[in-house]
Amino acid sequence: IFNQVVLAPADPILGLTDAFKADPRADKVNLGVGIYKDESGQTPILKSVKLAEQKLLETETSKSYLGIDGVIAYNQAVQGLLFGTDHAVMSEKRAVTAQAPGGTGSLRMAAEFVVRNTASRTVWVSNLTWANHNNIFQSAGLTVKQYGYYDAASHDIDFDAMLTSLEQANSGDLLLLHGCCHNPTGIDLNICQWEVIAQLCVDKGLIPLFDFAYQGFGAGVEEDAQGLRLVASKVPELLVANSFSKNFGLYNERIGAVTLVAEDEETAKRAFSQIKSTIRSSYSNPPAHGALIVATILGDAELRKLWEEELTQMRERIAEMRVLFVKTLSEQGVEQDFSFISAQNGMFSFSGLNKDQVARLKEEFGVYIVGSGRISVAGMTRANMDTICRAIAQVL
């Protein structure tokens, strides 16, 4: 029976990491997957994380199962980061949160919850989006439709196109929104556009589903939550899938959460019972370590301060790399204007390089970027910048 199974295509992002590892060239550079590298090219464990782990080593007394929804203190801390402390959804107890494995696991649980418990079967995603969104939603039984978002000519949002596409959306459809640091374009809605989208969701009865994986990588922890908080103040029901892979550097701990906001506390509680039921039949209950680290850091004023400082350093280093990237391209003789890259948010830069150019970068120069032309600026350093820019100048 198994000999009928066909080979799956390589994943456009993680498959690239496999190809990179197998590449024997010494000067190869991986700018594919979104993983932060420091100036020395390492992906460090944050000091705040190490200190929290030390604390856990001394105080943890059991490895017994967590509840289906995970670490309770963690779930409360997640809500604090998402909504702030004085948001109405918190005081009205309309938000419920379950720990889940990373952003992917959180999105999948959110989507499965919707399919199992509502009549919604459609999710709208931006016309460029994270490659895994389609897989996750289709696997959960949703139909994926696209709304206009990125305008390649202006390197900006085509907001009119977004609104025009969403005229076709029906009540109950999910609307996937990137909370900040849009992946792959790095271009986010401004606050006026968030207002319009919030009103559109109210008028059309759409359910916003936030993918919030980069909080703190745009302008700051609070600043990056503005869109979500605004939408949550206007729209009665929404879902959030968040991840701490990037902002705590906890990639391999697979730590995220699914949060549901309902129109009242009683509905939220009922919905939560179904989220837990979805989790129970998927992976029973989550692993503890990542959640305990995050809860320890966010529950301790000093560790939290240290974490915010470390996050700021990561954000600022990436911003410096953006500027250096644009400058070095020009020094390498690239005449095309790449200044738009400095204005993009988060780990990624959407370069506009085409598939052939991306393939040449990989094959001829050992510079790996995602097929869509997405470059992980978080993987650039002063040491590899010349190699990267020389290669790009050649393929252009």
**Residues 112-131 close enough to bind ligand LMR by CB under 6 A:** 130
Choose between 19 and 393: whose C-beta lies nearer to ligand LMR. Answer: 19
396 vs 380: CA distance, rounded Å: 19
CB of 374 to ligand LMR, least distance (A): 8
Other Cβ atoms closer than 10 A to 281: 9
Query: E strand or H helix at 319, and its extent?
Result: helix 301-331
Given 69, 158, 173, 211, the catalytic residue: 211
251 vs 263: CA distance, rounded Å: 33
Choose between 89 and 100: whose C-beta lies nearer to ligand LMR. Answer: 100
CB of 272 to ligand LMR, least distance (A): 26
Site track 302-341 with ligand LMR (rule: CB under 6 A), x = hit: ----------------------------------------
Query: Using only C-alpha atoms, what is the Rg of the chain?
Result: 21
Q: Under the criterion CB under 6 A, does residue 132 sit at the interface with ligand LMR? A: yes
Reply yes or no on whether 158 is catalytic: no
Given 37, 69, 124, 130, the catalytic residue: 130
CB of 79 to ligand LMR, least distance (A): 23
Q: Which of 394, 376, 375 is nearest to 332 (CA)?
A: 394
CB of 155 to ligand LMR, least distance (A): 19
**Residues 25-54 close enough to bind ligand LMR by CB under 6 A:** 33-34
Cβ–Cβ < 8 Å for 155, 312: no
CB of 123 to ligand LMR, least distance (A): 18
Backbone phi and psi for residue 375, each to the nearest 5 degrees, phi listed first: -115, 130
CB of 161 to ligand LMR, least distance (A): 23
269 vs 96: CA distance, rounded Å: 7
Q: Which residues contact 237 (CB under 8 A, 6 or more apart)?
A: 207, 260, 261, 262, 263
Given 37, 188, 246, 307, the catalytic residue: 246
Reply yes or no on whether 124 is catalytic: no
Q: Under the criterion CB under 6 A, does residue 351 sit at the interface with ligand LMR? A: no
**Residues 171-200 close enough to bind ligand LMR by CB under 6 A:** 183
Taking CA 39 as the corner, what is the angle to CA 355 and CA 220, rounded to the nearest 5 degrees? 85
Choose between 33 and 306: whose C-beta lies nearer to ligand LMR. Answer: 33
Question: Whose CB is nearest to ligand LMR?
Answer: 34
CA–centroid distance for 212 within its chain: 5
125 vs 127: CA distance, rounded Å: 7
With CB under 6 A as the rule, give the number of residues binding ligand LMR: 6
Q: Which of 332, 333, 363, 334 is nearest to 351 (CA)?
A: 334
Choose between 165 and 372: whose C-beta lies nearer to ligand LMR. Answer: 372
Residues recognised as catalytic: 130, 211, 246
Q: Which residues bind ligand LMR (CB under 6 A)?
A: 13, 33-34, 130, 132, 183
